[in-house]
Chains A and B, each alone.
Chain A
Amino acid sequence: MWFRRSTSTSLSRKRPDTPMKKIKGCFPVLKRQGHGGKKEWAGILFILPSFIGTGIFVLIPFADVVRRSFTESISGKWSGLENYRAVFATPAFRLAASNTARFTAVCIPLLIMLSLLLAIFLQRQGKAGSLLKSAFLVPMAIPVASVVLLWRVLFDNQGILNGMLQRLGMAGSDWMNGGTAFWVLVFSYIWRNLGYDVVLWMAGLSGISESIYEAARVDGAGEWKCFWKITLPNLLPSMFTIAVLSLLNSFKVFREAYLVAGDYPDESMYMLQHLLSNWFRELSMDKMAAASVINGLVIFVLILLLKKAWEKEG
């Protein structure tokens, strides 16, 4: 039943708009008074504590990092783009960047398609569907530290997976050492984030009015046609948002990678996060500063794209 409730809240949060607008229209004077001159500044008071903290702990130090990315770490002399050149010249950086790009290119489409498929099925199952949705959300709550044990036992050379494969007459492999380590990471990401994306898709699906489907069915449209002509076009705006959120969640896969395989895992799963942690430990401040700025910029561009998507939706 809670499933019904959660969908109705997403609807009811949409609904107040219409009657409210009417009321607003009736009392134009009140509205102006509420947002009039002096009172506006009270908003800043509410935000001030948070803003000061953010300034001290994030904004000012990050500005310092940007400055450092253009200077030599020891002498503090201006070095222009030297640090950036050094970062791109490091083979480890190129390896990590290409691994991260490859991971993203494989994971995001896979996760999005799987979760959409699941969401469409679950949407129709009523009570069983909501129960299953909870089951897929559970991994989100399982602490990384708790899973590490299972991953080790599962993917060990003499672990459960290889044991099962052998019983089926297939050859196993040393999953964590070699190219397969990358796929273990992909699996781990999908497992943890499937429920998250299913919830997002289901919210999108519940926004499509049933009457459109009914009208289409009356006109003789089959399941496939309904999916291609109604479901997919209606979900397209959410698709982009979901893609970006999935991408941002993909950075967190480092926790599993790190706890399972340590600082220097198999080459195939050496990510940018590994590289940055290692540079940090080696105290290569100038390279690290430049790499932070590059990473931050890439994410900044992605978020601008997300913002555009939001504005299109709204």
Chain B
Amino acid sequence: MRKSKKIIHFIIISFLGILGFTACYPVLFLLTGSLMGAVELTDRLGPALGGAGGYVSWRLLPVYPTLKAYVNLLIDSPEFFVMFWNSIKLTGAILAGQLLVGVPAAWGFAKFRFPFKKALFMVYILLMMMPFQVMMLSNYLVLDKLHLIDTHLGIILPAVFSTFPVFIMYRFFESVPDAVIESARIDGAGNFQIFFYLGIPLGSAGIISAMVLGFLEYWNLIEQPLTFLKTKSLWPLSLFLPNIGLNEAGIAFTTSVVVLLPAMLVFLAGQDYLEQGIVAAAVKE
């Protein structure tokens, strides 16, 4: 009886293990490809490139691993650096702006009562859920009026005022106990002191959650730059890749890995916060 239970347990775990491995396989796929030499790559991908017969046959690990593709990317493609820098600039500026604007707003929604607060917050929730395509035309109209089409600022500003981080941080600020605030107020702390010395430290988990979710979102920015940036030298890295054909597979793989790397690091470092952020959006306390 016990033994059969153990076997069933083992089967389930190994099945889930295989499933989990499959979910993560793209990471390995990209790493393997980026370490392959040009000859091996062309040889393997030949059928998908057209020309060669048969099918693409992939291996778990490269036969002749080499860092040549990385060297090529770092030395021979100056446009790569420009786009990498663009990505960092856009993501960094958006997140910094969200901190500056969103954190106080979340605190205001969580800890004050004023007329129309509920209605206003409902508007925020509504806006955070609208997909880009619904807001595309209105975004275009305002950016056109402000002459921000084809500038980085035109991507950054609308994103800074995204209401999603406000909502996430609100959820965390809400759980800061009122009694703590009351006692600080009795000790003579003003609204801003309370915000800086109590609100921000006690809600830091929420702020970090919002930043982790935000990073994954904006590092992945596709629709906005594609729609509003005409000049290719302004594009972020996420748009660089789709433009590389499979015939330049070496560069495609290494760039994929480089795009993946920061997102993976943020994910590994902030997974706890990521999960808290996900749950915060769904569970009402």
Contact = CB atoms under 8 A, between A and B. Distances in A.
B57 to A, nearest CB: 6
A40 B161 contact: no
A62 B137 CA distance: 8
| A-side interface size class | 35 or more
Contact of A139 (B26, B157, B241, B284): B26
A50 B102 contact: yes
B251 to A, nearest CB: 11
Interface string A42-54: 1111110111011
Given A57-B139, A138-B23, A145-B241, A42 B112 contact: yes
A60 B142 contact: yes
A265 interface: no
Shortest 8 CB-CB distances between A and B: which pairs? A43-B112, A163-B55, A46-B108, A135-B20, A50-B105, A158-B47, A61-B138, A141-B267
Interface string A1-31: 0100110011001101100100110010011
A232 interface: no
A165 B47 CA distance: 15
Contact of B130 (A122, A273, A299): A299
A107 interface: no
Interface in A123-165: 125, 128, 132, 134-150, 152-153, 156, 158-160, 162-163
B237 to A, nearest CB: 7
B39 interface: no
Contacts of A134: 271
A104 B239 CA distance: 27
B275 A6 contact: yes
Given A61-B139, A145-B242, A310-B284, A31 B178 contact: yes
A202 to B, nearest CB: 9
B26 A58 contact: no
A39 B191 contact: yes
Contact of B285 (A135, A238, A285, A314): A314
Contacts of B185: 33-34
Interface string B44-63: 01011000011111100000
A88 interface: no
28 contacts: A9-B205, A20-B177, A20-B178, A30-B182, A44-B108, A45-B191, A46-B107, A47-B105, A50-B163, A57-B157, A57-B161, A64-B141, A118-B19, A122-B16, A132-B16, A132-B17, A137-B267, A140-B216, A158-B47, A158-B55, A159-B48, A191-B23, A203-B279, A254-B131, A272-B133, A276-B136, A277-B227, A292-B135
Interface residues of B, number: 108
Contacts of A27: 182
Interface in A163-188: 163, 166
Given A57-B161, A59-B123, A145-B222, 18 more contacts: A2-B271, A43-B108, A46-B104, A53-B160, A62-B135, A62-B138, A64-B141, A128-B13, A145-B241, A149-B246, A153-B56, A153-B58, A158-B53, A158-B55, A199-B279, A200-B282, A259-B222, A276-B133
B283 A162 contact: no
Main secondary structure on B side of the interface with A = helix
B134 A203 contact: no
A277 B133 contact: yes
Interface string B86-122: 0000000000000011101101110111100100101
Contact of A136 (B23, B117, B137, B260): B23
A214 B121 CA distance: 41
Given A143-B238, A277-B227, A296-B134, A65 B141 contact: yes
A289 interface: yes
Contacts of A307: 122, 125
Interface in A37-93: 39-47, 49-51, 53-54, 56-62, 64-65, 68
B264 A259 contact: no
A313 B282 CA distance: 11
A247 B55 CA distance: 36
B137 A280 contact: yes
B259 A146 contact: yes
Select the residue from A41, A62, A299, A310 with max chain B CB neighbours within 10 A. Answer: A62
B184 to A, nearest CB: 10
A292 B140 CA distance: 13
Select the residue from A145, A258, A280 with max chain B CB neighbours within 10 A. Answer: A145
Contacts of A166: 55
A33 B185 CA distance: 10
